[in-house]
Amino acid sequence: MATFKYTTLNNIAQDGIDRLGENFVRTDDVSEAQGILVRSAKMHNMEISDQLLAVGRAGAGVNNIPVEKMAEKGIVVFNSPGANSNAVKELVIAVLILASRNIVDGINWVQANENNPDIAADVEKEKKKFAGTEIKGKKLGVIGLGAIGAKVSKAAVSLGMDVYGYDPFVDAKKAKDINKKMTFISSIDDIYENCDYITIHVPAMESTKDYINEESIQKMKEGVVVLNMARDVLIDEEAMLVALDEGKVRYYVSDFPNPTVTGHKNCITIPHLGASTEEAEKNCAIMACDELREYLEYGNIKNSVNYPNIDAGVCASECRLIVLHKNIPGMIKKLAHVVEDEGINVAEMTNRSKGNYAVTVLDLDSQISGQNEENLSKIDGVFKIRKVK
Ligand code: MLT
């Protein structure tokens, strides 16, 4: 089996790296890496080398990676969905309580009184300023019912909350499987109009930018608390500041400090700690490294954000080719034509597509010539050809 060079753009937990195995060699030179492991490092302005075959994101969000550009170069981008969902869920529950009990203001008061010799007595006089409300019996709206949203909805129900769930990609039946004690909502306005707390768990994409905006905030209840442990771009934060100033929104809790919101008295910001637990870092690293290894060694794809999942198993034939190509008609015929032209029998062929992109795995009864491999790569619409065996 070939050896692969990989590099890391962030610290990746050793438990993951250990799973890459002996066929993987670390390099510090990103231009020679066939695999990149990344957490939050921004890759949009990075030069993408021709050597690069795959990127493994140890985490869920891929807004730091030029996913489309990678697809056009035949580079498969993986993420680790669900691997840090428990960590994020726990933080959501923590901030929910933090905001409902005015804990941050309370802690700030104590810190400001560190040299006050009468602090013990003053606490009893001052604490009424920080009295809050309980979350039990309150309505929580969960926008996005993926791995994190689903877990948040269950945890909130177990704390006695009345949970409303919304996700345009989930139907009533699926919503029941996710959490039968959640009220599934098919119009997001029901969340805005009814909920005391709203938490958002959708991916950051062009289509989800400003998902919560001035118009949606207008529909919300007076004194609502909005939690954002997903990404700052999902919220029109200028509109959020106006709503905070007017008291329409009681607290905006965000895991993404930025110059717009940081410092506002009713905005609680956390330094992107959603997935920062030992367990989540380990789980994400393991998932990303397993995905990278499976693809580089066998060509199988699981949890890619730009190519379809494909599982052709282990190659039992002489040769395996992985073709990453445009999802257009006639492609399979063209690929087969080049292979058969050389008198090679196709033992097994697997093809999958996702949106504009497709993968074809060809298991062949004999080795293909270098010339024909090149001919395959010249077919219009083929982004990359890999021979994994
Ligand atoms: C995620 O997208 O998985 C979380 O925000 C944590 C992270 O960025 O690593």
Atom number in ligand 1 closest to CA 284: 3
Atom number in ligand 1 closest to CA 59: 3
366: CB partners within 8 A, 6+ apart? 318, 319, 344, 345
Residue to mutate (ligand 1; options 11, 84, 254, 287; most atoms within 8 A of CB): 84
| pTM over the 0.75 mark | yes
Structural domains of the chain in order of their starting residue, each with its CATH number: 1-84+276-307 (3.40.50.720), 135-269 (3.40.50.720), 314-389 (3.30.70.260)
Residue showing tokens 């393991």 = 286
pLDDT given at position 142? 98
Atom number in ligand 1 closest to CA 229: 5
pLDDT given at position 353? 98
pLDDT given at position 116? 98
Residue to mutate (ligand 1; options 65, 272, 279; most atoms within 8 A of CB): 272
Atom number in ligand 1 closest to CA 275: 6
Residue nearest to atom 2 of ligand 1 (CA): 61
pLDDT given at position 2? 86
Between the CA of 40 and the centroid of ligand 1 the distance, in Å, is: 7
pLDDT given at position 367? 95
pLDDT given at position 1? 76
Between the CA of 85 and the centroid of ligand 1 the distance, in Å, is: 9
Query: For 272-278, which contacts have Cβ atoms below 8 Å and span 24 or more sequence positions?
Result: 272/40, 273/91, 274/84, 274/87, 274/88, 274/91, 274/229, 275/59, 275/60, 275/84, 275/87, 275/88, 276/87, 277/84, 277/87, 277/90
SS3 78: strand
Atom number in ligand 1 closest to CA 61: 2
Between the CA of 276 and the centroid of ligand 1 the distance, in Å, is: 8
Between the CA of 126 and the centroid of ligand 1 the distance, in Å, is: 38
Between the CA of 314 and the centroid of ligand 1 the distance, in Å, is: 32
Strand residues in the chain grouped as ranges (E): 4-8, 24-26, 35-38, 54-57, 76-78, 139-143, 162-166, 183-184, 197-200, 224-228, 249-254, 267-269, 319-326, 346-354, 357-364, 382-387
d(CA 97, CA 191): 19
Between the CA of 60 and the centroid of ligand 1 the distance, in Å, is: 5
Atom number in ligand 1 closest to CA 255: 5
389 residues of the chain, pLDDT tens digit each: 789 999 999 999 999 999 999 999 999 999 999 999 999 999 999 999 999 999 999 999 999 999 999 999 999 999 999 999 999 999 999 999 999 999 999 999 999 999 999 999 999 999 999 999 999 999 999 999 999 999 999 999 999 999 999 999 999 999 999 999 999 999 999 999 999 999 999 999 999 999 999 999 999 999 999 999 999 999 999 999 999 999 999 999 999 999 999 999 999 999 999 999 999 999 999 999 999 999 999 999 999 999 999 999 999 999 999 999 999 999 999 999 999 989 999 999 999 999 999 999 999 999 999 999 999 999 999 999 999 99
Between the CA of 246 and the centroid of ligand 1 the distance, in Å, is: 31
Between the CA of 202 and the centroid of ligand 1 the distance, in Å, is: 12
Residues with CB under 6 A from ligand 1: 39-40, 59-61, 84, 274-275
